[in-house]
Chain A
Amino acid sequence: MTKMTMVQAINLALRQEMANDDRVVLLGEDIGRDGGVFRVTEGLIDTFGTERVLDTPLAESAIAGMAVGMAIYGLRPVCEIQFSGFAYHCFHQLENHAARLRWRSQGRLSVPMVLRAPYGGGVRALEHHSESREAYWAHTPGLKMVIPSGPRSARALMVAAIRDPDPVIFYEAKGLYRAFREEVPDEEETIPIGRSRIVREGRDLTMIAYGAMIRPALEAAEELRATDGVEAEVIDLLTISPLDDTLMLQSVTRTGRAVVIHEAPRSFGPGAEITTRLMEGAFYYLEAPIARVTGYDLIIPYFSREKWFIPNVRRIVDAARRTLVS
């Protein structure tokens, strides 16, 4: 076990997978000599050389499209898109090719690529550097969408994503990169993609969140215990798509109350799907309307106002109390 940041944990996953499997290659802007603008790929070019760590010219569609070809021919490309706000260039290649080549070729071709990108706000960044648009990817059949919530889950999920036979979009909450350290096992660890987990047990209320929202959710749960004597269960989705609804349904069947939390805008966001699954699978157990705590249906404002956009502990506690009174 070593205590490390999420940056170091993802670096560890990449390093170990590259050492284990020479099909794994990295490509992206500034990921070589510079080690990536967030230093996630720090030192990898020194160990694995320029043949496996490609500092590409500046073109995201080319990164994604080239990765599709590499993956078709048996490699395991891991793309870094410097900020998720520039991953829209990749959308065409993922939507039109990566996501559907297996299906179109009746299973003969596959695209086992990973596309990593930092997402989300809270770091006083410039425009286009703070969005949460995971719903775009989650909406595309054939793609998997993964979002870890800290160093240990990031490492374990990254290993799983690289080994996954299908294309995986891997969003890294940039606010978590260096926010805290966690024990990460030195030996291999994976978390299966498509599986959520309970990060706090409770009997009165279920909170469902992922990524950077897990920490405020846990804090809100502590506050509710201290001030209201309420025990909230917190579920960390880890994978947005394919969405695992087994744990959340079991939980809500017990608690009868749910609060869904994400930083992405509310309308047509992941919360809409989560809420519908709960309605379909646990309607008769619900004691109160399901609450959503999300970003507004706005472009995340420049950083002087972003704290008003991003869900916080107070909003989660308020929403929980609303579901508890009814």
Chain B
Amino acid sequence: MPRSDIAVTDSLEYLSILDEHGNLDRELEPQLSAEQLLDLYRAMVRGRRFDERLLDLQRQGRIGTFPPIKGQEASQMGAVFTLRPSDWFVPAFRETAAEIWRGRSLESIILYFNGFNEGGLSPEGRKDLPIAIPVGSQVLHAVGLAWAARYRRTDEIAMVFFGDGATSQGDFHEGLNFAAVYQVPAVFVCQNNQWAISVPVSRQTQTPTLAQKAHAYGMPGIQVDGNDVLAVYVAAAEAAERARNGGGPTLIECVTYRLMMHTTADDPKRYRSDEEVDQWRQRDPLPRFAAYLQQKGTATEQQLAEMETRVLEEIQTAVESAEKRMEELGDPLDMFDHLYAELPPHLEAQKSALAGEIAALGKEVDND
């Protein structure tokens, strides 16, 4: 009588469709058109090659610090691919491939990482938030966006990305709780890349998975092979569908790996072994997807190589145009723009003082 079992959900699914050896589960394989598959692959390749180019630029001092995404292309692309343009996309800061897919230009990303406020944006009218550097903070925004989407009687959903480290923040727990209590149309995508800078996920949490945290809040959770773009896609499509149809939020844990440094200011050799990184390199999401496309007859090796060449050209053009644009930008007075809808008088005064200072400097230069 005094002690009895309470039935609580504790079963959790793990989903893998295309493994690192190329084994495919045909029953689970999603029915994507050739065009969709190639779009996905192109976006992953674009993410990878752009990341590599950013690293070069950073090493040459042509941009500042940035967080590489290498290894995480499938976990972000599989998820974001399920969104409609009318849905809300809420990134953390390591979703460059997904951001580009949503329409953010390569130029804007280069500008942003080279310290230009003009760079942090998606094109006008997009339902994409700018990146969120304060870890986990964006989770709550997605809950609010999703709530508002329903209030406005739309069938839109909000999808938010965050890392394994973010699941330790109160914002994550509060966000999941609110989302479940209000049954908002949100999809929570955790890119568990095993590390939060130098802290491994095993020291971030005592639970064996992050997905199971969903149960504490009364929503479904699922763990997927985050390097298998098909598995991520299937899990995200289910979650998006559920959210859209009034079924409430879902937590998806994508098990993936950050193959590079945390940011270009970090030295991962201090805290993890090369062997570990090598093991994860074997599970790289790109080659396995490329092999799948070829086996399926969606594209030949040659066609994929041509696609890659076009992506590289696109990146080259973007780098050139960004560097040109940066020469034109940088008027210091611009920093007074957009703080408020209307510039208050004391800031008007500060702005004109700076304008005077710049004019005086110009004269000094002329007199030299």
Contacts and interface: CB of A to CB of B under 8 A. Distances in A.
B154 interface: no
B277 interface: no
Contact of B199 (A58, A85, A302): A58
Contacts of B117: 301-302, 305
Contacts of B266: 37
Interface stretch (B216-224, B293-301, B333-341): B333-341
Interface stretch (A147-155, A270-278, A282-290, A292-300): A292-300
Contact of A58 (B166, B326, B334): B166
B198 A296 contact: no
Nearest to A318: B357
B206 to A, nearest CB: 10
A86 B134 contact: yes
A302 B346 contact: no
A68 B146 CA distance: 36
Judged by DSSP, the binding face of A is: loop
Interface in A27-84: 29-30, 32-35, 37, 55, 57-59, 61-62
A198 B135 CA distance: 41
Interface string A119-162: 00000111111000000000000000000000000000000000
Contact of A304 (B115, B339, B357): B115
B330 A29 contact: no
A85 B133 CA distance: 10
B116 interface: yes
A308 interface: yes
Pairs A-B, 9 closest by C-beta atoms: A303-B115, A34-B198, A308-B332, A304-B115, A57-B168, A58-B165, A301-B335, A302-B115, A58-B168
A296 B344 CA distance: 13
Contact of A298 (B119, B265, B347): B347
Nearest to A88: B134
Given A35-B270, A302-B115, A305-B332, A55 B346 contact: no
A223 B357 CA distance: 19
A125 B119 CA distance: 15
A122 B142 CA distance: 33
Given A58-B204, A267-B346, 17 more contacts: A30-B197, A33-B271, A34-B198, A55-B199, A58-B135, A58-B165, A62-B168, A266-B350, A298-B335, A298-B339, A301-B335, A302-B112, A302-B116, A302-B119, A303-B115, A305-B117, A308-B354
Nearest to B196: A58
Contacts of B64: 124-126, 303
Interface in B165-181: 165-166, 168-170
A318 B265 CA distance: 36
A57 B204 contact: yes
Interface of A: 29-30, 32-35, 37, 55, 57-59, 61-62, 85-86, 89, 124-129, 266-267, 296-299, 301-306, 308-309, 315, 318
Interface of B: 64-65, 112, 114-117, 119-120, 133-136, 165-166, 168-170, 196-199, 203-205, 263, 265-266, 270-271, 326, 329-330, 332, 334-336, 339, 346-347, 350, 354, 357
B283 to A, nearest CB: 24
A85 B197 contact: no
Given A34-B270, A58-B204, A304 B168 contact: no
A33 B205 CA distance: 18
A128 B112 CA distance: 13
A324 B10 CA distance: 75
Contacts of A302: 112, 115-117, 119
Nearest to A34: B198
B197 A37 contact: yes
Nearest to B204: A57
Given A297-B346, A305-B335, A308-B332, A55 B198 contact: yes
B101 to A, nearest CB: 22
Contacts of B205: 57
B224 to A, nearest CB: 22
B265 A37 contact: yes
B270 to A, nearest CB: 5
B347 A297 contact: yes
9 contacts: A30-B197, A89-B169, A298-B336, A301-B117, A301-B335, A304-B116, A305-B332, A309-B335, A318-B357
Given A57-B204, A296-B335, A304-B116, A33 B198 contact: yes
A297 B165 contact: no
A316 to B, nearest CB: 13
A54 B21 CA distance: 39
Nearest to A92: B170
A95 to B, nearest CB: 16
Contacts of A34: 197-198, 270-271
A2 B332 CA distance: 41
B276 to A, nearest CB: 14
A37 B197 CA distance: 9
B245 to A, nearest CB: 34
Contacts of B204: 57-58
A296 B197 contact: no
A126 B65 contact: yes
Given A30-B197, A55-B199, A299 B330 contact: no
Nearest to B206: A57
Contacts of B346: 267, 297
A61 B335 contact: no
A30 B195 CA distance: 11
A250 B133 CA distance: 45
Contacts of A125: 64-65
Given A29-B197, A297-B350, A305-B330, A59 B169 contact: yes
Contacts of B135: 58, 86
A57 B116 contact: no
B335 A308 contact: yes
Nearest to B268: A34
Contacts of B271: 33-34
A305 B354 CA distance: 13
Nearest to A297: B347
